[in-house]
Amino acid sequence: MSAKKLSPGSLIVLRCLAAAALLGGFSSSLLCLKAEELSLQKASSASYRCSGGEQLEATYYGLRDGSLAFVRLRLPDGRQLTLPQISSASGARFSADSEFTWWIKGNSGFLQQRDSHGKWNVTLKDCDSVT
């Protein structure tokens, strides 16, 4: 008998059925529904041109239930960062609070990087959306 590759959706159904069999049905079915609600959705993508001519690519994502949003950045040097959205008084701020913070408001943004002494410095500024 040959093994077939299962789709991600089929795997979720199989996991839910297995959990229902092991845990007695109803409560595990609710867990499966919760897991499906947490699917990822892509909100938007944008290219930004910064004051020094550098280009930054940003793709914004979120969980369908709204509990988490994050950005995937591609920096001018090719590095890629994934930063969760954190609270901000105005606009949106994405940071893991360790090394980088991406701030946006409207169609503009800037990138900060923490130096070896822990001080935040703006490394890409006046980044305006070109898409």
pLDDT in tens, the chain (131 residues): 444 454 455 445 445 545 444 445 444 444 555 555 678 888 899 999 999 999 999 999 999 888 889 999 999 999 999 999 998 888 888 998 789 999 999 999 999 999 999 999 999 999 999 97
Assigned token pair, 63: 């969980």
Buried b (16+ CB within 10 A) or exposed e, 77-91: eeeebebebeeeeee
- Separation CA 56–CA 68 (nearest Å): 22
pTM over 0.75: no
CATH architecture of 40-129: Beta Barrel (2.40)
